[in-house]
Amino acid sequence: MSKENRFGLSRYIKPDIKQTIRKACGFGCAICGNPIGTYEHIEPTFEDAREHDPDKMTYLCSSHQDQSSRGLLSKASIWKGKHSPRLMKVGRAKSPFIFDTWSALPSIWVGPVRIIGFATIIEIDGERIFAIDPPEIPGAPFRINASFTDQNHDLIFQIVDNELVLNPKSWDVKVTGRSLIIRKSSRHIIAEIVTLPPNSIYIKRLHARYKAFPIDINGDRFTVRHGFEGPLEIEVTSPGLPPPAVCVLSSVNPHGQGMESRGGSFAIGAQSQPHPLYTKKIAKRHNL
- What was the pLDDT predicted at 227? 56
Q: What is the total residue count of the chain?
A: 288
24 CB neighbour count, 10 Å cutoff: 19
Q: Which residues of 182-207 are buried (b: 16+ CB within 10 A; e: fewer)?
A: bbbeeeebbbbbbbeeebbbbbbbbb
- What was the pLDDT predicted at 43? 94
Domain ranges of the chain: 15-88, 97-285
Residue in 119, 129, 149, 160 with CA at minimum distance from that of residue 268: 129
- What was the pLDDT predicted at 74? 95
Distance (Å, rounded) from C-alpha 179 to C-alpha 174? 8
Distance (Å, rounded) from C-alpha 116 to C-alpha 277? 11
- What was the pLDDT predicted at 249? 33
Q: How far apart are the first and last CA of the chain?
A: 50
Strand intervals (E) in 81-154: 93-98, 107-110, 113-116, 120-124, 127-133, 143-149
The single-letter DSSP state of residue 90 is S
- What was the pLDDT predicted at 54? 96
Q: What is the DSSP string of 136-147?
A: SSTTSPPEEEEE
Amino acid in position 234: I
- What was the pLDDT predicted at 111? 84
Distance (Å, rounded) from C-alpha 142 to C-alpha 133? 6
Q: What is the pLDDT along the chain (288 residues), one digit of tens a residue?
A: 668 999 999 999 999 999 999 999 988 899 988 888 899 999 999 999 999 999 999 999 889 999 999 999 999 999 999 999 987 775 555 555 567 766 667 788 888 777 777 778 887 777 888 888 888 888 788 888 999 999 888 999 998 888 888 888 889 999 888 889 999 998 899 999 998 887 888 899 999 988 878 888 888 788 877 655 443 444 444 433 333 333 333 333 333 333 434 333 344 333 333 444 434 444 444 444
